[in-house]
């Protein structure tokens, strides 16, 4: 597959993945917390819409996200192949160092995702673990985005 096609697929999948994590952490979690607080204070109807919305969004994300990650990582591997020269000696250039760091962070994100899936299937996923994984993945992904933008400019 050509480099431009791989790049576009990789970017679109990354936007979808990062956007989903950010939405869940910044918007949905805060809305649910507000609904819980309103329910505790006795406001009628508070949280009645958010619970089904959260459930439906979670189910949809669980169905779609494996496919998004497949595109993201497959395109990422294809893109990395174009820079195999820099990756043969990653400490030999700033591009090699930054790209290697980006790949390590991407593998860590994949590890987070696989761990979350095993916890969900085994019943070990708690709200605290979900928050920690989301926060860690978000930090990883933001670092990857920054690395992707600067790795061609740092020499």
At 120-146, the pLDDT tens digits run 899 999 989 988 999 999 999 999 999
Confirm whether pTM is higher than 0.75. yes
Q: What pLDDT is attached to residue 56?
A: 86
d(CA 113, CA 111): 5
With respect to residue 115, please indicate whether it lies within any of the assigned structural domains: yes
Give the range among 23-27, 84-88, 115-119 with minimum mean pLDDT: 23-27
Structurally, the chain folds into a number of domains equal to 1
Within a domain: 59:
yes
Task: Give the distance from CA 135 to its chain's centroid.
Answer: 10
Structural domain includes residue 155: no
Q: What is the mean pLDDT of residues 5-11?
A: 96
Domain carrying residue 109: 3-150
Decide if 42 is inside a domain: yes
Q: What is the predicted pLDDT for the residue at 46?
A: 55
């Amino acid at each position: 597959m050509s480099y431009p096609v791989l790049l576009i697929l990789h970017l679109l999948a990354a936007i979808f993945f990062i956007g989903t994590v950010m939405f869940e952490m910044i918007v949905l979690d805060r809305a649910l917390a507000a609904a819980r607080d309103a329910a505790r204070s006795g406001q009628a109807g508070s949280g009645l819409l958010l619970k089904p919305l959260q459930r439906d969004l979670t189910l949809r994300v669980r169905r779609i996200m494996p496919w998004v990650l497949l595109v993201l990582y497959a395109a990422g591997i294809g893109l990395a192949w174009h820079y195999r020269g820099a990756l043969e000696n990653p400490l030999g250039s700033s591009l090699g160092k930054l790209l290697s760091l980006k790949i390590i962070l991407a593998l860590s994100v994949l590890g987070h995702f696989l761990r979350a899936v095993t916890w969900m299937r085994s019943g070990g996923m708690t709200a605290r673990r979900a928050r920690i994984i989301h926060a860690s993945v978000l930090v990883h992904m933001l670092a990857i985005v920054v690395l992707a933008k600067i790795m061609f400019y740092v020499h």
